């Protein structure tokens, strides 16, 4: 354990922890999507496959990484933020950090009409990696749809069962106790290696709130992974909720929405 405390975990160029994450969109108008991507200076189509590279330049040059330290932007060699792949009426956005995913979701939403594509899920890894650790070979190795759906469905089912009990509780106090116990148990559960976040967006939803909720969820997961890396094995997401919210509305501002 002492050796691990002395060993830093792997980070990406802009300073945040390396944590692979994949956004999946339902593609409704392929031709319009490709036309839009071709019009952007921050996008470059890859010649060997039906995919694109998204760079930190031009239309997204003002995206802000508060974790960046010594990284110096070079307009001649812009940093690649993600790879975008079109396959089987789906769009997959592969990124190497949670922060980049939180930037990508509102960026692509503002760029493309919901009639072109809609975001469905985000698949991510609940750990950080050592500098000399074998990294996953491609995102297909990391994310198995059947397993991710099983974990997600179990979590949703557990929530609905508790929701039903809360609604049938004989008093507000008992309902609160049920909800509090459920939250406590969930926070102490061992996080799965890979997990799926489901986007459920209706016409009435405030998208800024949707994007902010996504950021808070991932930020909590990131902090748990980092705390556990440094030896706090029992550290739970519930322990950093207050700190996460303070950072979002305080030091960081809501920079993923601006």
Give CA–CA dist 92/108, Å, rounded.
12
* Chain mean pLDDT for the chain: 81
pLDDT at residue 73 is higher than 60: yes
pLDDT at residue 241 is higher than 70: no
Q: Is residue 169 part of a domain?
A: no
Task: Name the pLDDT band for 74 (thresholds 50, 70, 90).
Answer: confident
pLDDT at residue 233 is higher than 60: yes
Q: Is residue 170 part of a domain?
A: no
Are the beta carbons of 91 and 189 closer than 8 angstroms? no
Q: Give the model's pLDDT for residue 257.
A: 38
Q: Is residue 153 part of a domain?
A: no
pLDDT at residue 4 is higher than 60: no
- Domains: count for the chain: 1
Q: Is residue 84 part of a domain?
A: yes
Q: Give the model's pLDDT for residue 69.
A: 58
Name the residue range of residue 78's domain: 2-143+190-249
pLDDT at residue 243 is higher than 50: yes
Q: Give the model's pLDDT for residue 110.
A: 85
Q: Is residue 155 part of a domain?
A: no
| Angle CA 23–157–240, to nearest 5 | 60
Q: Give the model's pLDDT for residue 197.
A: 92
CA-based torsion, 221, 85, 33, 117: positive or negative: negative
Q: What is the pLDDT of residues 158-186, one digit of tens each?
A: 888 888 888 888 888 888 888 888 777 77
């Amino acid at each position: 354990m002492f050796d691990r405390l002395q060993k830093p975990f792997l980070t990406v160029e802009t300073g945040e922890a390396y944590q692979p994450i994949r956004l999946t969109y339902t593609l409704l108008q392929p031709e319009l999507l490709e036309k839009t991507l071709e019009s952007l200076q921050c996008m470059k189509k890859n010649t060997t496959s039906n995919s694109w590279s998204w760079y930190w330049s031009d239309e997204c040059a003002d995206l802000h990484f508060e974790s960046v330290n010594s990284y110096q932007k070079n307009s001649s060699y812009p940093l690649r933020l993600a790879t975008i792949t079109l396959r089987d009426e789906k769009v997959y956005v592969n990124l190497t950090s949670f922060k980049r995913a939180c930037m990508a979701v509102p960026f692509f939403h503002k760029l493309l009409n919901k009639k072109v594509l809609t975001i469905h899920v985000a698949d991510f890894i609940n750990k950080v990696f050592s500098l000399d650790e074998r990294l996953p070979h491609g995102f297909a190795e990391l994310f198995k749809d059947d397993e991710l759906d099983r974990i997600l469905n179990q979590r949703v089912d557990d929530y609905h069962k508790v929701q039903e009990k809360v609604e049938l509780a004989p008093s507000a106090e008992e309902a609160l106790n049920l909800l509090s116990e459920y939250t406590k148990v969930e926070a102490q559960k061992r996080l799965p290696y890979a997990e799926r976040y489901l986007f459920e967006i209706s016409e009435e939803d405030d998208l800024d709130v949707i994007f902010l909720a996504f950021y808070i969820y991932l930020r909590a997961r990131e902090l748990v992974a980092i705390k556990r890396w440094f030896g706090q094995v029992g550290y739970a997401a519930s322990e950093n909720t207050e700190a996460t919210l303070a950072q979002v509305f305080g030091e960081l501002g809501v920079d993923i929405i601006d």
